[in-house]
Structure 1
Amino acid sequence: MAPEADQPEPDEPTPEEPTPEANAPVEPDPVAELLGQPPAAEPPAAEPPAAEPPVAEPLPPYGSPEAAAAAAAAAKPGLSTGAGIGIGAGIGCGAHVVALILMVATGFAGWGATFLGLTWPFILVALAAIVMLFFKKTRGIAIGVLIVAAAVWIVFLGPCIGLLGVA
């Protein structure tokens, strides 16, 4: 069915109806006047309408094979951040026990009379954890190690260095 020749298409305005854009007065742009630019020939275009959010598919019923397959596909490989932090806290505790043994050994060797002589093993553990922060795979573990490192510095090293008077 072709439209008849005597009826205009619905998108075009009829000659009797003026278009709203043609009769609207164009207001001068005050910024353009200050900058000495000529007024714009066309008014700025209206913004397109906002896109609607995507509609999520409904989940399959609980306990169905489809639900198990969807959960397996959505699971990320590797450890979660919480598990990594817990593992890192355990590694940090072990590393600081080793650092304590190295600190005592350094003191008995005669090099432990300075601040750096007492703290170099603990600084080494913290620097290793800081390097681990740069890699996404070891970031959670590094956070756990650094939490333990902060606790060791506050609870153990700070008071010990203060009591010994090492500067």
Structure 2
Amino acid sequence: MAPTLYDEKPEVGDLIEIFRPTYQHWAVYVGDGFIVHLAPPSEGPGSSTNSMMSVVADKAVVKKEELWDVVGNNQWKINNSLDEKYKSRPAHVIVREACAMVGEELPYCVFRGNCEHFATEMRYGKAESRQVRKAAETVALAGVAAALVVGISYFFVGSKKENKNKE
């Protein structure tokens, strides 16, 4: 079994964050060792979230699978961190709605409709992806940094050209 980052047992309705090599996969714990999650339709049980196929897919399927089959050798943890921001819906509602969606094919978009959006929608009634927000913030900061470098370079290069023109 893959270890959790914390020695906790999930409770019904908890969000499960699975740490893949290049991204995090999210699911909702529905009890008895099972999770419901959004995964690419083309991959079989247990491998559904091990590849980056989910990044390029435009459709995904809601699946109910055993937690350990989906986790594989990856680390995972219970992550209900949005409880600070939103009120969690009752556990029986989360499970009922998640399980009712099993087998449904949904539009998939890394930025607007990924596995984390699905999981948070089930728990809070609001689709949110901190993973996407953090990536967007990183890209924005990189853009600002690049603009600053260009601006500073222009300032110094421009100053040197002006000094040469004055000589």
TM-score range, shorter chain: under 0.3
Structure richer in helix, relative to its length: 1
Structure richer in strand, relative to its length: 2
Q: RCO higher in 1 or 2 (8 Å CA, sep ≥ 6)?
A: 2
TM-score (normalizing by structure 1): 0.22
TM-score (normalizing by structure 2): 0.22
- Structure of higher CA gyration radius: 1
